Amino acid sequence: MQIDDFDIDLFLRDQWQKRPALIRNPWKSWVNPLTPEELAGLACEDDVESRLIEQVGDSWTLAHGPFAAARFAKLGKQPWTLLVQAVDHHVPDVTALIEPFRFVPNWRIDDVMVSYATDGGGVGPHFDQYDVFLLQGLGKRCWRVGPRCDESTPLRPHDDLRLLAGFEATDEWVLEPGDILYVPPGFAHDGVAVGDDCMTYSIGFRAPSRSELIADWCDHVVEQMQDDDRYADPDLQVQANPGEIAPSALDRLHAMIAEKMLDRDAFARWFGTYNSVRKYPEIDWQPDEPIDMADLRDFLAARTPLCRNPASRFSFIRRGENAVLLFVDGQGFECSGETALLAEALCAGDRLQPASDLAHSPAALTLLAALLDQGNLAFEQED
């Protein structure tokens, strides 16, 4: 799947994280990849995160799934919206919607949320802390976009939803199937279904906050420390005033912190692990038995395609000309030579047809066996 006549460089230069952008149906032939009935079925499953928002007048109520199938039949005529997270982890045709947006690095990609709304349905005016591409799949939705917001922007009192207390639109568009609206972080927006059977695919991106990074990095650093790693001053000299914390002491104390906190190599290793932890570990591809090495060699010799678990997160950090650190679902793997090339290929796409000579590489066999046994990868089987 590809976005036609879309200048990525121009978009990144002029619009990415700068202003909203409307992209009118850029697909050669748009086909909605999911029916409303299939979405409702996912919302009934225990391992799928879903929400139901009902609107009565100017108030909204929120309920969390899983939902009984009969719940949808009992909904009244008031507008309502069903939201289902990470549908790309369950439906391959929805997973394919991410591919055109991979000009944004994989480590920034979150998931594809799908919404279904009846006429007038929506989630209310709000703003998000991340970039999102809103792809209209079925029906029509009117999007109104307003100015940038921040933590000081007034919100309506609501226990579950962060709705803007005041919303004045600066732009308004009606999106039809195949149309895309890009909304940068912080911009107020409000989408309302125009008619029934309105489906929108939200391709969202992750943006870790500074406070999250500092808190988790500090926790990691502290976990690695020994209790006897303490302040010392063997060159202590008598001070004129014993009540002073001397500049030399402050320099030594500050250096104790900076030495650990500013270790870039340690930070890189930690971040690769931290960032690749799965959001939804319930989607388990782990086999009942570890893969037999003879079978693994046969699969590779036959160039059987490898598929990534859609819930798994793959990324790497380059460690030199022929070496990388591969991170998969919170685990790190040192890779060099042909195994580094394999790691890069695994991170580049959701499906890989491996080279047959990997069957003769002990390092590649070890890496692939680990990823297959953990359920990060699986060989594509013929029906």
Kindly report the CATH number assigned to the domain that includes residue 146. Answer: 2.60.120.650
CA distance 342 to 326: 10
C-alpha distance from residue 146 to each of 126, 143, 172, 186, 249 (Å) = 10, 10, 9, 10, 52
Residue 283 in domain: no
Q: For residue 340, what is the enclosing H or E element?
A: helix 338-348
CA distance 167 to 154: 10
CATH code, domain carrying 353: 3.40.366.30
Say yes or no: 237 and 126 in one domain.
no
Residue 81 in domain: yes
Say yes or no: 149 and 176 in one domain.
yes
Residue 82 in domain: yes
Residue 133 in domain: yes
CA distance 203 to 312: 17
Is 367:343 a contact under the CB 8 Å cutoff? yes
Q: Per the structure block, which two tokens stand in for 347?
A: 């991170």
Residue 286 in domain: no
Q: Per the structure block, which two tokens stand in for 72?
A: 């949808």
Residue 47 in domain: yes
SS3 49: coil
Give the largest CA-CA distance in the chain: 84
Say yes or no: 180 and 218 in one domain.
no
Instruction: List CB contacts of 163: < 8 A, sequence separation 6 or more.
Output: 60, 124, 125, 126, 155, 156
Q: What is the pTM of this model?
A: 0.91
Say yes or no: 26 and 99 in one domain.
yes
Say yes or no: 196 and 224 in one domain.
no
Say yes or no: 198 and 236 in one domain.
no
Q: Which amino acid appears at position 68 of this protein?
A: A
Q: For residue 199, what is the enclosing H or E element?
A: strand 187-205
Q: Could you tell me the residue range of the domain that residue 333 belongs to?
A: 293-379
Is 348:315 a contact under the CB 8 Å cutoff? no
Say yes or no: 198 and 247 in one domain.
no
Say yes or no: 89 and 165 in one domain.
yes
Residue 173 in domain: yes
Say yes or no: 103 and 216 in one domain.
no
- Quick one: which of 380, 363, 357, 370 has its CA closest to 327? 370
Say yes or no: 194 and 324 in one domain.
no
- Quick one: which of 304, 60, 373 has its CA closest to 190? 60
Domain count, the chain: 3
Q: What is the pLDDT of residue 160?
A: 84
Q: Per the structure block, which two tokens stand in for 109?
A: 């990609």
Say yes or no: 54 and 180 in one domain.
yes
CA distance 313 to 276: 5
Say yes or no: 333 and 229 in one domain.
no
Residue 288 in domain: no
Q: What is the pLDDT of residue 337?
A: 93
The one-digit pLDDT tens for each residue of the chain (383 residues) are 678 788 999 999 999 999 999 999 999 889 999 999 999 999 999 999 999 999 988 888 999 999 999 999 889 889 999 999 999 999 999 999 999 999 999 999 999 999 999 999 999 999 999 999 999 999 999 999 999 999 999 999 988 889 999 899 999 999 999 999 999 999 999 999 999 999 999 999 999 999 999 999 999 999 999 999 999 999 999 999 999 999 999 999 999 999 999 999 999 999 999 999 999 888 888 999 999 999 999 999 999 999 999 999 999 999 988 999 999 999 999 999 999 999 999 999 999 999 999 999 999 999 999 999 999 999 997 65
